[in-house]
Amino acid sequence: MDRKAHLKAEPSDSLFCKMINEFAREAREGVGEDEFSKEALSLFFASDRMHSLCKKDGVISLCNAGDIVVQDRYFFSSLAYQDTPYAHLVNSIFPLPHLLIYLDLPPVLALQRLKKRGGAASPFEKSTFLNKAKQRYDELFLSLSKLAAASYGLDASGAAGGAGWGVGMAEVDPPSGEVPCGACPAARSGFHFLKVDASKSEKEVFEFITSFITKKALFV
């Protein structure tokens, strides 16, 4: 069956994203840093996320129509970048994805790639901050990988089955009818987690991900 695919990213282009960009601009310039608390920033991101999910042509609507949505970033980023009780609270309502792909990359290499890309640096794109965020990502995804029914991944040599690579499948009761905002679209076929060594070439990463999706018969 042919299915439409849509590419989305966070933050989106909503009014809330403009607030986030204003915060980033003032943080780069070193002014107004106290005007936006961590709680306010968490709320901006969560509001943008809710709008992206629940608007008329949003992620929930597309999933209910049987389409595939590929999204760059999700609420896991808020849990890593804004690691506060409030961030966890406001993001607790969001549904799990069908497939979560963690592109694991050392911060030093990420900064090298950002430098090559050019453009204005985000206040989040600093070595100390990224190292802390990387640690929180690893802790968060370790808890997800404990749900794993199998181990599947690339080790340092690029071979399959490397230690520490988790694939989690958590089966949950499927909802009846359409998936409402706040329910889990992944519930129809389980939640899958894939950790990928993003220090590999784009070709290797792409082939590894597509191989996993094919073997698990996802999105068919």
163 by DSSP, 3-state: which?
coil
Express each pLDDT in 137-165 by its tens digit. Answer: 988 887 776 654 433 333 333 333 333 33
- Which CATH number is correct for 1-93, 3.40.50.720, 3.40.50.300, 3.10.310.30, 2.60.40.1480? 3.40.50.300
Specify the pLDDT at position 154. Answer: 35
* pTM reported for the whole predicted model: 0.76
How confident is residue 121, by pLDDT bands cut at 50, 70 and 90? low
Domain definitions of the chain by residue range: 1-93, 95-220
**Sequence-ordered strand ranges (E) for 53-137:** 68-72, 99-104
Query: Cα angle at 118 between 113 and 123, to 5 degrees?
Result: 85
Specify the pLDDT at position 68. Answer: 92
Query: Cα angle at 53 between 147 and 11, to 5 degrees?
Result: 90
**C-alpha span between 187 and 37 (Å, rounded):** 35
* CA separation, residue 75 to residues 52, 60, 153 (Å): 12, 15, 24
